[in-house]
Amino acid sequence: MIFKVEPLEKGDIDVIHAISLEILKNIGVKFDHEQSLRILEEHGSEVDWKSRTVKFDPDYVEYMIKKVPSSFSMHARDPKKDLELRENSVFFATANAIFVMENGKLRDLRRDDLINYIRLADALNEIHICVGANFYEAPKKLWDLYEFEIMLLNTSKHLRPVVGTPYGPKAVIEMAARVVGDYEQLRKRPILSMGYAADAPLRWSSTALKVFMESAKYNIPVNVESEPITGATSPITLAGTLALANAEVLSGIVFNQMLKEGRPTVYSIGFSHTMDMKTAACLSATPECFLIMAAGAQIARYYNIPSLSWVTCDSKIVDLQSACEKAMGYTINVLSGNNIIWGAGSMEAQASISFEQMIIDSEIIGYLERIMKGIDVNDEMLALDIIKDVGVGGNYLSKIKSLTFTRKYYLKEHAQPKIFDRKVRIQWEKEEIKDIIHKAKEKVREILKEHQPATLDPEIQKDLRKIIEKYKRKIV
C-alpha cells in the first residue's frame, strides 16, 4: 500500500521529539519499582530515590531507541499463523474488556464469554492476534492465569495476554513454555507478546515494570503503550498530548532495551482518549482520537519501530453509530500505517465487547484488506487480449474467453462479504433476516456451533492446570 494518512509534517515530528526529550531530561518519569530503579541507575540514568523519578540523557535515549529492530516475527502455536511484522504489514487483533454487550444490555464478562470470544477470533481469518480479558468468575489474585489458560485452549493464533497480578508475568510465561516445549523453545518461538501502558502522566507502575522485566528474559515481543486522556492526564492540546505520550513510550522503550538490547518492541500511543469537558466522559472514537492514532503511526515510523493502535466506538449498543465509528477508526488506522490494530468487537470506549460487532468489524477489516492489496497492473491483468476479443459494443458475459478469464480472477480481484447485503431488491425482500445486526447474530451462532479450534495435548492441558494450582498454593 503506497498511500498514507499523515497529519504531521516532518518538522512537526522533529519538534515533538525534541520536546519529549526535554520532558525526559528535565521533568523525568516515575518508575515505581526498586529493582527497575537500580537497573536505570546502573545504565547511567539520574535517579531520585525519594521520589522514584528518573531523568534521561537525550543522547542516550536516541542511542537506545536505535537498538529496536524494525521488523520481527510474532509466532503462533500453529506455525502457519506466524506473523512477520514489517514496515507495511497490518495485523488485526481482538481487545481487552470487562463487560459484554448482549441484546442491548451490559453485563459482566464471564468465563464462557471469553471462551466464545477467543473461539470466534480463531475462526475469523480477518483476526490475527488474540488479546486477553479479565472474566468475572476468575479468582482476583490469579485472574490472568485463568485468562491465559482459556486463550491457549481455544486458539492457535498469536496471543497477547493481559497481565495484572503479582504472579501473572512469571506464571503466564511458564504456561507458554509448557505449550511450546520448554523455555528455550519459547525463547526461539515466543507464541505470545506482552506489554503494558504507562500511568499517565509520566509514571510506570510496578506491575508494568515486572511484566517488562520477566518477559525480557525470553525475548518476548513487548508492547510499550501510553494511554493519556486529553485534558485529564495530558494537555488538552493534541500536540501537547503527543509530546507527553511520546516521552512516556520512549522511556519504556529505553528501559526495555536496557533489559535486553535488540528486544522486539512495538510503539503505541494509539490507545489515547479525549475527555468531553461537558460530561467528563472518556471518549475513544472522536476525530481527535483518530488524529492521535495516525500521528502515533507516523512518529513510530520516524523511529523505525512498529506501531500499535486500538479501534473502538463510543456507542453503547451495536447500531449505526458503532458501525460508523468503527469503520472510520479502522480506515484511519490502516491508512496511517499502524502495524497492529486492536479492537475487533470492542465497544463503549474499550469497556465492553460485542460478538455481533466483532462480526461486523471482521467485514470492515475484510474490505480494508482488499484495499490494502491495491491494484495489480501487468500484461495479464490489463486483459488487452480479452478486450480485443469482445471488441466494440460486445458483452463480457457472452464470450468463452472472457468468461474463463472472469472465472479465474473474480474471487481473486473482488472481495466477498459474509453478512453485508449485495442482493438485488427482489431477492432481499424474500429474506427472513434483513437487518445486519441479526445477520451478525446468526453468524456468531453458526461459527460457535461449527468451529472447533486446534486442541492441545491432554497432558499439556493437565500441566497447565498444575501450574495454576502451584500459584494458588503460593497465594495461600
pLDDT in tens, 301-334: 999 999 999 999 999 999 999 999 999 999 999 9
Q: What's the rounded mean pLDDT across residues 365-391?
A: 96
> CA nearest 21: which of 208, 335, 187, 253?
253
Cross-strand bridge partners of residue 204: 31
pLDDT of residue 42: 97
Lowest mean pLDDT among 3-12, 158-167, 463-472: 3-12
pLDDT of residue 432: 84
DSSP of 167-187: THHHHHHHHHHHHHSSHHHHH
What is the distance between the alpha carbons of residues 219 and 264, in angstroms, rounded to a whole number? 7
What is the distance between the alpha carbons of residues 42 and 306, in angstroms, rounded to a whole number? 28
pLDDT of residue 431: 85
Q: What's the rounded mean pLDDT across residues 437-442?
A: 95
- Per-residue pLDDT tens digits for 149-167: 999 999 999 999 999 999 9
DSSP state of 27: I
Grid coordinates given for 353: 465487547
> CA nearest 250: which of 70, 24, 468?
24
Residue type, 262: G
Residues ≥6 apart with Cβ < 8 Å to 171: 142, 144, 145, 467, 468, 471
Residues ≥6 apart with Cβ < 8 Å to 376: none
Cis peptide before 7 (omega within 30 of 0): no
- Per-residue pLDDT tens digits for 48-63: 999 999 999 999 999 9
Q: What's the rounded mean pLDDT across residues 30-45?
A: 98
Percent of the chain whose predicted confidence (pLDDT) is above 70: 99
Give residue 160's Cα distance to chain centre: 8
Lowest mean pLDDT among 1-15, 124-138, 198-212, 283-297: 1-15
Strand bridging mode 273-276 / 281-283: antiparallel
> CA nearest 389: which of 376, 375, 405?
405
pLDDT of residue 337: 96
Residue type, 120: L
Q: What's the rounded mean pLDDT across residues 8-35?
A: 97
pLDDT of residue 476: 74
Please determine, for residue 2, whether its predicted confidence score (pLDDT) is greater than 60: no
What is the distance between the alpha carbons of residues 157 and 454, in angstroms, rounded to a whole number? 10
Residue type, 178: R
Q: What's the rounded mean pLDDT across residues 237-256?
A: 98
Query: How open is the CA angle 61-284-343, to the nearest 5 degrees?
Result: 85
Please determine, for residue 193, whether its predicted confidence score (pLDDT) is greater than 90: yes
pLDDT of residue 1: 54
Q: Which string of b and e fits 74-93 if b means at least 16 CB within 10 Å?
A: bbbbeeebbbebeeebbbbb
What phi and psi values does residue 5 have, to the nearest 5 degrees? -95, 115
What phi and psi values does residue 155 have, to the nearest 5 degrees? -155, 155
How does residue 36 score in pLDDT terms, banded at 50, 70 and 90? very high
Percent of the chain whose predicted confidence (pLDDT) is above 90: 96
Whole-number average pLDDT of the chain: 96
Give residue 139's Cα distance to chain centre: 26
What is the distance between the alpha carbons of residues 77 and 81, in angstroms, rounded to a whole number? 8
What is the distance between the alpha carbons of residues 15 and 8, in angstroms, rounded to a whole number? 11
Residue type, 272: S
pLDDT of residue 433: 78
What is the distance between the alpha carbons of residues 19 and 203, in angstroms, rounded to a whole number? 17
Rounded to two decimals, the pTM is 0.96
Please determine, for residue 391, whether its predicted confidence score (pLDDT) is greater than 80: yes
- Per-residue pLDDT tens digits for 254-294: 999 999 999 999 999 999 999 999 999 999 999 999 999 99
Measure CA of the first residue to CA of the last residue in the chain; give whole Å. 54
What is the distance between the alpha carbons of residues 86 and 83, in angstroms, rounded to a whole number? 9
pLDDT of residue 475: 86
How does residue 74 score in pLDDT terms, banded at 50, 70 and 90? very high
Please determine, for residue 3, whether its predicted confidence score (pLDDT) is greater than 90: no
